[in-house]
Amino acid sequence: MIVYSALPYLLAAAPAVIVLLAVLIGGCTMATTRSANDPIGPERYYSDPKSRAGEELTQELDRRAVREELRHLVEERQ
């Protein structure tokens, strides 16, 4: 009996819930908003010969290794 009395309210709320979910899902799937003058940059792959992605990764790993060494030296001195 409770379902029968709640049914009109559920039917009235259904369109608003559907629109809300559609807006939320659509907003979550959008990466960023871009204008025509702000195009998406080209994707970079490690296998691309013109890509510097591999060099950037190597530099980041080297930087982290040096940082870890410095941290160990500071810990030894204390």
Q: Model confidence over 42-53: pLDDT tens digits?
A: 666 666 777 677
What local confidence, expressed as pLDDT, does residue 46 receive?
63
Q: Are 27 and 21 in contact (CB under 8 A)?
A: no
Check residue 10 and give its pLDDT. 83
Give the whole-angstrom CA distance, residue 74 versus residue 7: 69
Whether the Cβ atoms of residue 21 and residue 14 lie closer than 8 Å to each other: no
pLDDT digits (tens, 9 = 90+) for 4-44: 788 888 888 999 999 998 888 887 766 556 666 666 666 66
How many residues does the structure list for the chain? 78
Q: Look up residue 76 and give its two tokens.
A: 């030894």
Cβ-contact 34, 40 below 8 angstroms: yes
Query: What span, in angstroms and rounded, lies between the C-alpha atoms of 37 and 49?
Result: 28
Predicted TM-score (pTM) of this structure: 0.38
